[in-house]
Structure 1
Amino acid sequence: MTTVSAPRIEHHREPLGIGESRPRLSWTLSDAPADWKQQSYAVTVVHADDDETVEVASSEQVLVPWPGRALESRERVAVRVSVQGDDGGWSDPSPETSLETGLLHPEDWSARPVGLELDENPESDARRATLVRRGFRVDGEIARARLYATAHGLYDAEINGIRVGSDTLSPGWTVYRERLRYYTYDVTDLLRNGENALGAWLGDGWYRGRLGWRGGRRNIFGGDLSFLGQLEITYTDGTRQTLSTDDAWKGAPSPILRSGIYDGEDHDARQEVPAWSTAAFDDGGWMPVTVRDRDPRTLVAPTGPPVRVTEDVAPLAVLTSPSGARILDFGQNLVGRVRIRVTGPRGSTVTLRTSEVLQEGEIYTRPLRSARSTDHYTLAGRPDGEEWEPRFTFHGFRYVEIDGWPGDLDADAAAGALTARVLHTDLERTGWFACSDPLVEQLHRNVVWGMRGNFLDIPTDCPQRDERVGWTGDIQVFGPTASTLFDVSGMLSGWLRDVEADQLPDGTVPWFVPVVPTHKVWDPIRPGAAWGDVATLLPWTLHQRFGDVGVLAAQFESARRWVDKVESTAGPDRLWNEGFQLGDWLDPAAPPQDPGAGRTDRYLVATAYFARSARAVADMARVLDRSADADRYAALAAEVAAAFRAAYVKPDGTMTSDAQTAYALAIAFDLLPDPAQRAKAGDRLADLVHADGNRIATGFVGTPLVCDALTLTGHVDTAYDLLLEKDCPSWLYQVVHGATTIWERWDALLPNGTVNPGSMTSFNHYALGAVADWLHRSVAGLAPADPGYRRIRFAPRPGGGLTHASATQRTPYGEASISWRIAQDELQVDLVVPVGATAELDLPGQDTEKLGHGAHTRSVPLSG
């Protein structure tokens, strides 16, 4: 009998405090007979006072509409699903999923932001983190208790001395003036009858800390440090007690003397206040708080998971540098912070300085630019030892220089006294790849680690230097890879709301979101191809990979306004051939201090993206049944494509920019409808790759497309040549030179082992790792053919001497997989298609075959 999974609620992994009153539902199916198909489903919603069952004649099972009445604020229900097959039989009900809404309406909020007014220089990096607290009484039997919390700055909440939740760096980084995220916590088990206390640590974070390069700015979003919390206790008799942040709260400086995203954290344990968040603490000496303002209409529930510690990494080695410094090597470039367990004399200080690389045996911090990236812990001198890790910062590092360690560092490190704690948005892993080449497998691992480190609440560009902002072009090109490796649907759909919030009234999309004022290159905000196109292409990617029509509906106006802006800029000739552009950013031929000066005409890039985005808006409109918009933007896309060909494609099929990126754009963006012209472009692209010795000749724009363009035009072997090259610049050059993440520059580390002298040299920057999506789709051969993998395309293209490859994808319909191997002159393929999906199998030399759900095995002659 067909089995139904517990339903998923929107894109939430943990549907507590959700912001949707009518959340969509998804489920997967298993154990279905061959050729079985769902024809109906029944959803039962178990409310507190009744059950509501709605039956729907539909084969849909991904993000189906909420079937019953809208939910109220704070409402907790359980949901289960049954399905009926085309055989007429009904399945057993699925396991139930419990979900609970948050505070859905502004009037639900009584809390206001509260914090201290300390006499400090508002432009200083050494402003003190603070504590706020309030005692309260519980009288009665508790049915449930919820804390709704956020902050101007970052917060960690405590009740009765116990940390609330497992998230960190909350509430994250949004366009705070429009959207401040709050989190909901179940704190029922932390309360007790009688006296209790609620408190919060507060740190600067992104809200008021230093942001931006060239010194950066402070107080970009506000100058206050405030906690906004609303504790609601529901008793078994139905009454509700609410404790909100107000003028009855008190505060004090914390033992965190300074804390910054870039600069690290200084903590003096001698100034800790024992039991400050417990009921027994006497706060009579604490200061009254100041009550600030926050429009409750700007408070929003999260759409994705929070940042958490997801892994602990032990040091691989303890090194002694030529200068005598002691350095921990964690063996992996990662993002997070170091936890220490230490025993030593009161007042002694342990200093931890981080870096991604060593030079001449010493940690090398020049690539960090002005980021101090250093933590200090001053010991309280407790005889039984002390444990500490920074609270409101993160670092990108492989190496940590330790100074002032009071014990035997080698022995203590071996005993686990120093541990790297990996931080990132707690996304669900969905895509895996393996193959017979260990270097390619390491490349894939580097992409995964690079993504983990740079998906820290927003999709960032690098996690270590004085930048760490949400570059729109980087995630635009990496979006397909991100959507393959992890379930980014909730996180990125939320970030796209920030893109729209920061979008200018004329439709211009900023270079990075949230916007941070930096310097004259980026201020004022100007439209730029590939970066601004995140407004059109990322929603389309999320729709294709997760089957989400809702993200198209939510972002359509933003996408349309971007294309309209480009249309007005280009004018009647449809060529976007003026204005500031980054072009094929970081083409390896570009000068180190002018990364936009690549081989491909910047305006060729801009016009190609104009055509692609216009077509994307037309496709979005068609899905949304906006026929007039679909026709208008389809016609615009055709006009731009024709203008592109007239301006940039020569009669013989070559291009005015005889560069790999130019041909990759024309092919991958389908700008060459003439088969002969397309074939010529593919041939010329292959020739250019070979002429460059199979080394990379593309930047951010061309790199995600070049292997696909070669594959689409019958040059798979050349794509493998490009993939497997080891000389600089290449993907495997980084691997053979010890990379454990993707570099920002192809030659971030020069062949002689020294760091590239450019001022922009990150060793953890995901954009150039976008090739991983091609590994899944073409090397292993697993790709979506319809949105959400409702139809799967299995089309492996073996080559490069690989003897086997495999990919597994956790699709919205369940797990799909392919594994192929070469044995005895045969290509042997094993496939799994999840129930609810279908597939097409396209093996070299064979006719395309349609497949239903289940496991399938095929063998074909290798000569095919």
Structure 2
Amino acid sequence: MTQHITEVWLENRRGETLLGIDESAPRISFIASEPADAFELELRNDDGVHAATVTDNRLVAWPFGPLGARQGGDLRVRIAGSDTWTHPVRVERGLAGDWRTDFVSPSTDAAQGTLRPAYLLRAAFNLAALGLDAADVIRARVYATAHGVFELEINGAPASSDRLSPGWTSYNHRLRYRTLDVTSSLTGGENVIGAWLADGWYRGHIGFDGGVWDIYGTDVSLLLQLELTTSDGRHVIVDLSDWRTQESPITGVGLYEGEAYDARLFPSGWSTPHFDASGWEPAQHLGRARFSAGIEANTSLPVREIETLAPVSMERVASGRIRLDFGQNVSGLLRIRPRAPRGTEIRLHHAEVLEDGLLGTRPLRGATSVDTYVCSGDDDEVWSPRFTIHGFQYAELEGWVGDVEAGDVEAVVLHTDMQRTGWFDSSHGGLNQLHSNVVWSMRDNFVDLPTDCPQRDERVGWTGDIQVFAPTALNLYAAHGTLTGWLRDVAFEQADQGHVPNFVPWVECGFPNFPTAAWGDAAVIVPWAMYLNDGDTRILADQYDSMRAWVDLVDSLTGHTGLWDQGFQLGDWLDPTAPPESPGDSHTDRYLVATAYHVRTARILAQTATLLGNTEHAEQYAAIAERATRAFQAEFISPSGRIVSDTATSIAVALVFELFENEDQVRRAGERLLHLVGHGGFHISTGFVGTPIICDALVRAGSMDYAYHLLLQDELPSWLYPVSMGATTIWERWDSMLPDGSINPGDMTSFNHYALGAVADFLHRVVAGLASDAPGWKRIRFAPQPGGGLTHASARYDSVRGTASCEWRRDATTLTISVQVPAASEGVVVIPGTGEEIAVGPGRHTFTTDFRDASDDPSAPFFGWRKEQQVDA
């Protein structure tokens, strides 16, 4: 077998382009197909060829000279002694702060309360006037960002596939730019750079309860620098001072409301050299110094068009509109190809569900989600909005001329272009659909940052949602780059607010702004989850001050007693017994939740301090954690192990967070949890806090069988109830849609929230049996737990060390387990029914054993295992 390298990336950002990074000495990681003692790296740049040999393939220190602004080279890697190099990848640092141009703006003020147009900006430059021909340019780079959202064209063609750039950050503190390779786009002589520019998050309408306008500023503006490197070694920063502008055919656009486009207004060829722009207005120049935000490179890939979906059905409804069902709830847009006379107006309506035979738009609240297109009448007319986004499965076309033919309308799926890393499959169709729903809800809510929902007038980065979902997110996708950037905003907003706000970036739109357990704890738990996933302590070092600030704040709020029993709390949000109009009315004591999370994050911080070599802090936070543990036990646990509130969530929290004083209390509490779950008919009784951990708590209570009963329940409330109702994403509420097909009457109902889908982590770790047993998947625990009537289950994870997988199959009472260990890992296989642990090395291994579970004769004995085969070990 040929030894080779399968993937190369920098820092913790898999799948990311290596162009325009901020680091001068980026760490290199790669995956080898086989174990190896050494690896060869080669960097070719303008100074020659540089070689290095290293002995590790994880977070390898940059072995070449530090990269200054714009410096880089072509990197390739191979296993030492192999003939097979990776394809060269361009590694290049960005501007490193060396901006030499200003923002340019078509508009520095606009009326609030109404949708504003998007603008066109163009700047021409002539290579011949610079003494160059296109062949002389060996590298051309555009560095660009904006106050607003933008798309670029060069000489009439898109400069990239990026959408909604530069995304949403805490714009008062940081603004991200992208580096684009535009070398092949240039021509000899005259060239034109064009930009579409709209409000976006920067000054558009965002937030809920009415939302806000102009939150970050009143300007909409573009910052763009074009630089050329020539074959004779010259470096040229192109003068683009003569920007011209006019309003675009987008006559009004909002992220929530939709986009209105009049194709009759499109200035054909506007971004090409032959276009006459003499009638366009000069753009305003806004000095960078007037804006305080730092400008930094992206840590994640941009939002892009990921795929398109054709409608699975269409019909003309009573209103005369044409209704389309795409069979999947998505974040994205419609792309239409109308055949209609000039001036025909087509309106595109969007909704996640149907109610009473109509689009269910009430849950959208203020997000009207209607796009309007006025046709040009040209042949081959194609249009899709640029600067809005919708959450929908259903759409209706109003004003469409004729019938909709195949290819006339498609749904364009938009989200951050993350690399998929995790998969699950089983013999149970409902579980498989549940897992698919989790995947889609993550996709739809990772539109540049982790949001709560993609459809209504909200779409903000709720800290509690990603806190509970982070392990699942990191299992499904290489989301480290996205979360790295978002955590920087957490730290900035935390410093501003004096605590971690409930969503980040923070929008002051009326929601209570107080320290809140399980939400603010994201500042500690999310970076810890990232460290456990990829083994990189840098995220802990980068976020250490933020992590400390949160735990220190909570410690002070307890009066240094450890008991957090005052102030605003969300508690076990969306407990299924909570009334529609009051989602926080949980049966679980909210201060029990708060104190338990204080214990958990203080413990994590103590471990973090140890990892970072700060013994004094480790002792300090271990003492805080111990104090909070004792306070929890004194306040919420009786000597016999009974828990205050006596709910599944309260017991699960105490079990999973290890808050009991002794094993007898653990046993008694576990028995009580099994009673509550069984007495409740195996229906879900937990909210945001309890749901992600309830199955683990049942296993700790001694019953995988109860966990399966809960997992496979399909009556309301349960994970599979939405599946039985045709859901293709995870709902915000267990009863977002009632059994009669009506929408929950509360004003907070979404059909696309990932938080309650955190159970997918349990499907991977426990049902399929694939779990990391050391940070970064250095050691893997294969411990499948068959049951629930399933005949097979499997999980695969493309870890930072290579692909790991675990699959089990039952044939009568014979159980076969197949595992795969990456080349850079080791593993242990736990044989069900025996508890025996078998050490395994890299490669594939298969075991068989006789197995009984609760569905079989309970008196039948368990038999030993036998190793059937082992290959590639």
Say yes or no: TM over 0.5.
yes
AA aligned to 2:247 is P
Give the drift of 1:673.
4.9
Give the drift of 1:745.
0.4
AA aligned to 1:110 is R
SS for the counterpart of 2:707 is helix
Rounded to whole Å, the distance in 2 between the matches of 1:160 and 1:45 is 33
Rounded to whole Å, the distance in 2 between the matches of 1:215 and 1:426 is 31
Once the two structures are overlaid, the 10-residue window that deviates more, 229-238 or 805-814, is 229-238
2:564 is matched with 576
After TM superposition, the structure 1 = structure 2 runs for residues 550-561 of structure 1, keeping only pairs within 5 Å, are: 550-561=538-549
1:836 is matched with 824
Once the two structures are overlaid, the 10-residue window that deviates more, 545-554 or 598-607, is 545-554
SS for the counterpart of 1:504 is helix
Give the drift of 1:563.
0.2
| Partner residue of 2:767 out of 752, 761, 779 | 779
Rounded to whole Å, the distance in 2 between the matches of 1:713 and 1:838 is 29
Rounded to whole Å, the distance in 2 between the matches of 1:477 and 1:828 is 33
Structure 1 residues 202 and 675 mapped into 2: Cα distance closer, same or farther (>3 Å)?
same
> Deviations 1:503-551 (Å, cap 9, x if unpaired)?
13575101111111111x32xx311000000110000000111222111
SS for the counterpart of 1:169 is coil
SS for the counterpart of 2:150 is strand
Confirm or deny that 1:25 pairs with 2:28. yes
Are the aligned partners of 1:448 and 1:485 in contact in 2 as well (CA < 8 Å)? Answer: yes
After TM superposition, the structure 1 = structure 2 runs for residues 117-266 of structure 1, keeping only pairs within 5 Å, are: 117=107, 121-138=110-127, 139-140=132-133, 141-243=136-238, 245-246=240-241, 248-266=242-260
Rounded to whole Å, the distance in 1 between the matches of 2:150 and 2:94 is 19
Rounded to whole Å, the distance in 2 between the matches of 1:68 and 1:143 is 23
> Deviations 1:459-509 (Å, cap 9, x if unpaired)?
000100000000001000000110111010111111111111111357510
TM, length-normalised to structure 1: 0.95
Are the aligned partners of 2:682 and 2:713 in contact in 1 as well (CA < 8 Å)? Answer: yes
1:110 is matched with 100
1:357 is matched with 353
AA aligned to 1:218 is W
SS for the counterpart of 2:652 is helix
Give the drift of 1:786.
0.6
Are the aligned partners of 2:641 and 2:660 in contact in 1 as well (CA < 8 Å)? Answer: no
Rounded to whole Å, the distance in 2 between the matches of 1:441 and 1:466 is 31
Give the drift of 1:437.
0.5
2:388 is matched with 393
After TM superposition, the structure 1 = structure 2 runs for residues 317-328 of structure 1, keeping only pairs within 5 Å, are: 317-328=313-324
After TM superposition, the structure 1 = structure 2 runs for residues 436-835 of structure 1, keeping only pairs within 5 Å, are: 436-504=427-495, 507-519=498-510, 521-522=511-512, 525-835=513-823
Rounded to whole Å, the distance in 1 between the matches of 2:6 and 2:326 is 39
Are the aligned partners of 1:76 and 1:98 in contact in 2 as well (CA < 8 Å)? Answer: no
Are the aligned partners of 1:21 and 1:101 in contact in 2 as well (CA < 8 Å)? Answer: no
Query: Which aligned runs of 4 or more in structure 1 are off by greater than 4 angstroms?
Result: 38-42, 90-93
Give the drift of 1:96.
4.9
Give the drift of 1:209.
0.4
Are the aligned partners of 2:171 and 2:216 in contact in 1 as well (CA < 8 Å)? Answer: yes
Rounded to whole Å, the distance in 2 between the matches of 1:266 and 1:245 is 30
Rounded to whole Å, the distance in 2 between the matches of 1:760 and 1:504 is 29
AA aligned to 2:23 is E
Give the drift of 1:322.
4.1
> Deviations 1:400-445 (Å, cap 9, x if unpaired)?
1110001212xx2xx2110000000010000000000001100000
> Deviations 1:122-177 (Å, cap 9, x if unpaired)?
20322111111111101222111111111110001011000110110100001112
AA aligned to 1:75 is Q
AA aligned to 2:351 is S
Are the aligned partners of 1:228 and 1:245 in contact in 2 as well (CA < 8 Å)? Answer: no
AA aligned to 1:303 is T
Confirm or deny that 1:293 pairs with 2:296. no
After TM superposition, the structure 1 = structure 2 runs for residues 840-851 of structure 1, keeping only pairs within 5 Å, are: 840-844=828-832, 845-851=834-840
Confirm or deny that 1:858 pairs with 2:847. yes
Give the drift of 1:320.
3.1
Give the drift of 1:18.
1.2
AA aligned to 2:417 is D
Rounded to whole Å, the distance in 2 between the matches of 1:283 and 1:543 is 53
AA aligned to 2:27 is R
AA aligned to 1:225 is V
Structure 1 residues 670 and 83 mapped into 2: Cα distance closer, same or farther (>3 Å)?
farther
Once the two structures are overlaid, the 10-residue window that deviates more, 527-536 or 621-630, is 621-630
Q: Structure 1 stretches of 5 or more lacking a match? A: 33-37, 85-89
SS for the counterpart of 2:163 is coil
AA aligned to 2:44 is V
AA aligned to 1:258 is G
Give the drift of 1:321.
3.0
Are the aligned partners of 2:674 and 2:701 in contact in 1 as well (CA < 8 Å)? Answer: no
TM, length-normalised to structure 2: 0.94
Give the drift of 1:43.
3.6
Rounded to whole Å, the distance in 2 between the matches of 1:12 and 1:810 is 11
Rounded to whole Å, the distance in 1 between the matches of 2:364 and 2:390 is 10
2:867 is matched with none
Rounded to whole Å, the distance in 1 between the matches of 2:679 and 2:40 is 61
| Partner residue of 1:432 out of 420, 423, 427 | 423
AA aligned to 2:269 is A
Structure 1 residues 528 and 590 mapped into 2: Cα distance closer, same or farther (>3 Å)?
same
Give the drift of 1:331.
0.9
2:46 is matched with 48
SS for the counterpart of 2:238 is strand
> Deviations 1:233-277 (Å, cap 9, x if unpaired)?
22211223323553x211001000011110000000111111110
Are the aligned partners of 1:72 and 1:101 in contact in 2 as well (CA < 8 Å)? Answer: no
Structure 1 residues 716 and 794 mapped into 2: Cα distance closer, same or farther (>3 Å)?
same
Rounded to whole Å, the distance in 2 between the matches of 1:80 and 1:158 is 31
SS for the counterpart of 1:778 is helix
Structure 1 residues 12 and 852 mapped into 2: Cα distance closer, same or farther (>3 Å)?
closer
AA aligned to 1:53 is A
Percent identity, please.
48
Give the drift of 1:347.
1.0
Structure 1 residues 126 and 854 mapped into 2: Cα distance closer, same or farther (>3 Å)?
same
AA aligned to 1:461 is D
Rounded to whole Å, the distance in 2 between the matches of 1:282 and 1:243 is 21
SS for the counterpart of 1:132 is strand
Are the aligned partners of 1:6 and 1:81 in contact in 2 as well (CA < 8 Å)? Answer: no
Are the aligned partners of 2:438 and 2:730 in contact in 1 as well (CA < 8 Å)? Answer: yes
> Deviations 1:714-752 (Å, cap 9, x if unpaired)?
211101111000110000001001101000000000111
Are the aligned partners of 1:507 and 1:562 in contact in 2 as well (CA < 8 Å)? Answer: no
SS for the counterpart of 2:210 is coil
1:61 is matched with 57
Rounded to whole Å, the distance in 2 between the matches of 1:169 and 1:505 is 26
SS for the counterpart of 1:95 is coil
Give the drift of 1:672.
2.1
Rounded to whole Å, the distance in 2 between the matches of 1:258 and 1:422 is 22
SS for the counterpart of 1:63 is coil
2:9 is matched with 8
Say what the alpha-carbon RMSD is for the aligned residues.
1.6
2:857 is matched with none
Are the aligned partners of 2:244 and 2:280 in contact in 1 as well (CA < 8 Å)? Answer: yes
Confirm or deny that 1:275 pairs with 2:273. no
